[in-house]
Amino acid sequence: MSPSPVLVVYEDREYLVSPGEEFGTDLGVLDVPEDVEPGATIETHLGTEFHVRALRGPDLFHHFERTGAPMVPRDVGLVIGETGVGTGDRVLDAGTGTGVLAASMARAGASVRTYERDPDFAEVARANMALADVADGVEVRTGDLTAALDELCDEIADGAPSFDVVTLDTGDAATVVERAPDLLVEGGFLAVYSPFVENARQVVETATDAGLANVRTRETIQREMDFDERGSRPSTAPVGHTGYLTLARNE
């Protein structure tokens, strides 16, 4: 097995490198040792020192190969925090994309089966799972979850384990939400990320009609704070809206 990549950091610069790699920067060439460990310091041939860090969960957002706009860390945190995804949980996910959410849930200890319609995107996601060291915990399936619903529900009806959590980031999420009671364990959670409020409303209506409980939607938004000699206040930069997160529970 190839050694895991590490981050090398100098001031506000950060690069993902592999042990044994020769990596060029405008500050000189880094000869990364085969046995490099997080916490070490390595120098370029010009004498610039880079500090070595392990790749951690929030770093995935910045260093995964992208096939679109990945879910941002704060939204990943909301999904994990609100659903309680953890060790031993089985997660059904759709709309893999870059795979930040799937990888983060696997790093929390869950076993994830995720569906990605685009074959090229699915291949990138598999490579990203390897980078995150969760390839054993995430099964990336190429295909449409809506087309697999009947088979999945039949398997569960025949005794296959239900899922503890279902997470969706697709435009047709409502189609899956309708079948969520057949997919989830009792007390299991549904989390749906929607870029548009119309999609979120459709998900809420479908979840309610399906008999799910505690259905609610939150806009995910953050404001950074500015601190200077004049005082402290929210930043005047654009407000950080990303989307809408709908949560529900199977009871």
Per-residue H/E/C for 182-247: HHEEEEEEEEEEECCHHHHHHHHHHHHHCCCEEEEEEEEEECCEEEECCEEEECCCCCEEEEEEEE
Distance CA 13, CA 43 (A): 14
Strand order in the sheet with 49-54: 13-17, 6-10, 49-54, 41-43
Asked if the 6-55 domain carries CATH number 3.40.50.980, the reply is no
Helix (H) or strand (E) holding 123: helix 119-131
> Which phi and psi (to 5°) does residue 211 adopt?
90, 10
Domain ranges of the chain: 6-55, 59-249
pLDDT in tens, the chain (251 residues): 567 889 999 998 999 998 988 999 989 999 999 999 899 999 999 999 999 999 888 888 989 999 988 889 999 999 999 999 999 999 999 999 999 999 999 999 999 999 999 999 999 999 999 999 999 999 999 999 999 999 999 999 999 999 999 999 999 999 999 999 999 999 999 999 999 999 999 999 999 999 999 999 999 988 889 999 999 999 888 778 889 999 999 98
Helices 119-131 and 100-107 cross at an angle (nearest 10°) of 30
What is the full DSSP assignment across 17-52? E-TT-EEEETTEEEE--TT--TT-EEEBTT--EEEE
Fold of 59-249: Rossmann fold (3.40.50)
